[in-house]
Amino acid sequence: MVVPEINGQETKKSKLIANPNCTTAIGLMALWPLHKLFGLKKIIMSTYQAASGAGQPGMDELKEGTKAVLEGGTAKNEIFAHPLPFNVIPHIDKFQENGYTKEEMKVTWESRKICGLDDDFPISCTAVRIPTIRAHSEAIIVETEKPVDVAAARKALAEAPGVKLLDNTEKNEYPMPMTATGQYDVEVGRVRKSLIFGDHGLEFFVCGDQLLRGAALNAVLVAEEMASNGSLEAKKPVEA
C-alpha cells in the first residue's frame, strides 16, 4: 500500500502495490510532513466526505434527491443509509464491533501501515457523508512529541510535494471542496496550535479531490515511482 510521497520505496519490495483508501491518502499528505518535523503521538480525524465517494450512483442520488426536495418532493435513498440532500450522515461503510465503521478503521489501519507506525499507534476517525458532489474534507487534530512551531508547520506544508498551503484567514482563504475539486494537490489550511494539546498539538483542515488523490492520480504516481526507481524493469516477466 503506497502513497509515493511517503513510502514510495516500498514499490521495490513487492510485486503487488495497492492504492490506499482515498480518505487516508488525503489526510496523510498533510500529516506526513508534520510527523517528520515534530513526531506525532496521536491523531484525531473527522471527515466530511462527498457523494462521489460512493461512485456515480451516489452522485446521481444526491443530484436527483436535491432536485426532488427543491420541487417540494421527497429525496429517495438507495445508495446512502438516509437521504443525503440537506443532511449529513455519520455513517460510511459497515459498523464494526468496536462501534467504528470500516471506513473509519481503514484510516487507522492504513495510516499506521503507510507511515510505518506501531500497530497500537492511537488514531481515531469519525467519517461523515455530506451533500457535496466531489472532494473530501478532513478536520485533523494531532498531539506531537516535540513542541510545535506554527510558522515552521506552515513552511513544511508549503514545501511538501502534493500539498498546497491555503491558509490566509484575513482573506478568507482556506481549503474547500469548491477549490480542491479537479486539483492534483491536497489543500491544507486553518493551521493553528491546539487548545487541547497546547505546545504539543496542532489543528488544521484538509481538502482533496478523492477521485485523484487516493484513486487515479495516486495510481499514476505509483507507476511513475516504479519507473524511476527501476521497479518496473525488475518486475517484467521473464520470457521462456
User: Which residues form the catalytic set?
Assistant: 22, 136
3-class secondary-structure state, position 202: strand
Q: Residue 15 has which C-alpha cell?
A: 510485486
Contact assessment for residue 34 and residue 202, using Cβ atoms and an 8 Å cutoff? yes
Contact 138, 48 (CB under 8 A): yes
Could you tell me the three cell numbers for 129? 457523508
Residue 129: beta bridge partners?
Answer: 49, 89
Alpha-carbon span 102 to 41, nearest angstrom: 23
CA distance 99 to 71: 37
Q: Report the distance separating Cα 210 and Cα 223, nearest Å.
A: 18
Long-range contacts of 63-72 (CB under 8 A, 24+ apart): 63/133, 66/131
CA dist 102 → 4, 84, 94, 126, 181 (Å): 24, 20, 6, 11, 25
